[in-house]
């Protein structure tokens, strides 16, 4: 059994957090490969180490003295080292970085040092080996991860060992350091899990998994216990703050379960994400999660006989395409078709689009409705089951919420309703309470 466990910035923020991480790792001997982020914030007002490193580089770039920022960075790691009584020669490491910095260090190398120090310290604390990401995580010349080479190299280097790997960076073909996009340690963890064919990829953060709805809207929402990648994609597309796609792709490809856990509440099972779940208990909870976004505009074109006019919808869509405006949904009627677009993106071209539709299609009438929100109820269990949409629409009706638009994907993984912006929060709450409590 092999678990690859990635610990995010808040789990690495202080000596106290390091202690929690150690307890978690020691509680399960399968946690052999550990991936870590740079130290994150200890409080709301605190700074992430990576942000400070970017700031440090900006100082150098513009010729401003960076001593103050550098000491903030150095002190954080000094503190962790001394509080935990670690054997790492942190002063020598910091002095080496300082001299590199004075000689002109690349931005990517400098900002990668947050993860580098975290991993050095954590490896020492756990009694694991430090395995630098540059020794296996390889980029191709075009800046994309060379998966084949990276997987083979990690397998060779880490098999049978207990190692701590710094997240967020790897090596270009010429050996120079390159960082992934922000939050990239998630990607490193997923790549490591995929390379080593781990039984599970654990992603330890400061929340107990993915919540069924935004806690700023629904009070104390339940955690999603099991979610498929497709559902996750729907929810993140609709605005839920979850892992980005690059971070899940390597483990998804190999069908490795991804478990989101909370370092501050390790007993909580968190959320498990998989391609599919066999032998599911189909209980009353048809909905996996609810998410939504505000500020959409609906452009409705009315033209009698539209439904029998072949190519009409295509001509309308082509006009949107020409202006580079993405159409999110297209509910249609017999003699009308609506295009739902994001208002901020539509602002600069909506009147040109309407003008062009008017000239080319000569419709009876065009209507523009803005301040619309879309809310999606997402759930694999509602597919091909009668009654879910009835229940949802009835609940919204009983609560006086006027539905302005309805859309459902052909896979029946979601039901999307368009409502007035003013009804957005209430819609999320009504859907949540009608299916969850
Ligand atoms: N430290 C990096 C960042 O702040 C990467 C990570 O934490 O995943 O973006």
How far does residue 236's CA lie from ligand 1's centre (Å)?
19
* Distance, CA of 169 to CA of 132 (rounded, Å): 9
Q: Give pLDDT tens digits for 374-433.
A: 999 999 888 777 888 888 999 999 999 999 999 888 788 899 999 999 999 999 999 999
Atom of ligand 1 nearest to the CA of 181: 9
How far does residue 375's CA lie from ligand 1's centre (Å)?
30
Question: Is 135 or 285 the better-scoring residue by pLDDT?
Answer: 135
Q: Give pLDDT tens digits for 204-226.
A: 999 999 999 999 999 999 999 99
DSSP state of 138: B
Tell me the pTM.
0.87
Structure confidence at residue 20 (pLDDT): 98
Max CA pair span of the chain? 80
Which protein residues are within 6 Å of ligand 1, measured from CB?
Answer: 9, 37-38, 48, 50, 114, 167-168, 182-186
Q: Give pLDDT tens digits for 127-182.
A: 999 999 999 999 999 999 999 999 999 999 999 999 999 999 999 999 999 999 99
Atom of ligand 1 nearest to the CA of 182: 9
**Residue corresponding to tokens 């340690």:** 185
Atom of ligand 1 nearest to the CA of 187: 8
How far does residue 252's CA lie from ligand 1's centre (Å)?
21
Pairing verdict, β 129-130 and 414-420: unpaired
Measured between alpha carbons, how far is residue 304 from residues 300, 336, 357 in Å? 13, 8, 15
> What's the mean pLDDT when you consider all of the chain?
93
Structure confidence at residue 281 (pLDDT): 60
| pLDDT surpassing 60 at residue 198 | yes
Q: Give pLDDT tens digits for 1-18.
A: 999 999 999 999 999 999
Structure confidence at residue 338 (pLDDT): 94
Rg from Cα positions in the chain? 26
* Distance, CA of 249 to CA of 261 (rounded, Å): 19
* Distance, CA of 81 to CA of 215 (rounded, Å): 36
Nearest CA owner, ligand 1 atom 5: 183
Quickly list DSSP for 61-104.
HTT---HHHHHHHHHHHHHHHHHHT--S-HHHHHHHHHHHHHH-
How far does residue 111's CA lie from ligand 1's centre (Å)?
9
Structure confidence at residue 245 (pLDDT): 73
């Amino acid at each position: 059994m092999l678990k690859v466990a990635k610990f995010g910035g808040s789990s690495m923020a202080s000596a106290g957090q390091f202690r929690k991480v150690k307890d978690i790792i020691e509680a399960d001997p399968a946690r052999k490969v550990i991936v870590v982020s740079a130290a994150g914030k200890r409080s709301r007002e605190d700074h992430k180490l990576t942000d400070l490193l970017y700031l440090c580089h900006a100082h150098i770039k513009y010729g401003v003295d960076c001593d103050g920022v550098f000491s903030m960075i150095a002190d954080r790691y000094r503190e962790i080292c001394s509080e935990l009584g670690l054997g790492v020669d942190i002063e020598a490491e910091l002095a080496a970085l300082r001299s590199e910095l004075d000689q002109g260090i690349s931005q990517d190398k400098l900002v990668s040092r947050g993860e580098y120090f975290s991993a050095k310290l954590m490896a020492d604390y756990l009694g694991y080996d430090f395995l630098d990401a540059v020794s296996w995580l390889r980029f191709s010349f075009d800046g994309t991860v060379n998966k084949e080479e990276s997987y083979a190299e990690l397998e060779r280097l880490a098999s049978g060992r207990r190692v701590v790997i710094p997240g967020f960076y790897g090596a270009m073909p010429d050996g120079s350091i390159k960082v992934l996009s922000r939050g990239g340690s998630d990607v490193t963890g997923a790549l490591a899990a995929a390379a080593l064919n781990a039984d599970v990829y654990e992603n330890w953060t400061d929340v107990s998994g993915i919540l069924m709805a935004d806690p700023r809207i629904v009070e104390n929402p339940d955690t999603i216990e099991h979610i498929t990648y497709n559902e996750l994609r729907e929810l993140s597309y609709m605005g839920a703050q979850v892992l980005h796609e690059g971070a899940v792709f390597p483990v998804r490809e190999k069908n490795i379960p991804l478990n989101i856990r909370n370092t501050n509440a390790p007993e909580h099972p968190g959320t498990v994400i998989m391609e599919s779940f066999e032998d599911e208990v189909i209980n009353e909870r048809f909905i996996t999660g609810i998410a939504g976004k505000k500020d959409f505009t609906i452009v409705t074109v009315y033209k009698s006989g539209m439904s029998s006019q072949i190519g009409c919808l295509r001509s309308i869509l082509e006009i949107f395409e020409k202006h580079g405006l993405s159409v999110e949904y297209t509910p249609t009627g017999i003699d009308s078709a609506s295009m739902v677009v994001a208002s901020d993106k539509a602002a600069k071209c909506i009147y040109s689009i309407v003008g062009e539709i008017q000239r080319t299609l000569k419709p009876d009438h065009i209507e523009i409705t803005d301040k619309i929100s879309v809310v999606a109820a997402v759930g694999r269990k509602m597919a091909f089951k009668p009654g879910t949409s009835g229940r949802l629409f009835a609940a919204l009706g009983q609560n006086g919420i006027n539905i302005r638009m309805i859309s459902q994907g052909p896979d029946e993984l979601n039901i999307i309703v368009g409502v007035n912006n003013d009804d957005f929060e209430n819609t999320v709450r009504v859907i949540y309470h009608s299916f969850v409590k």
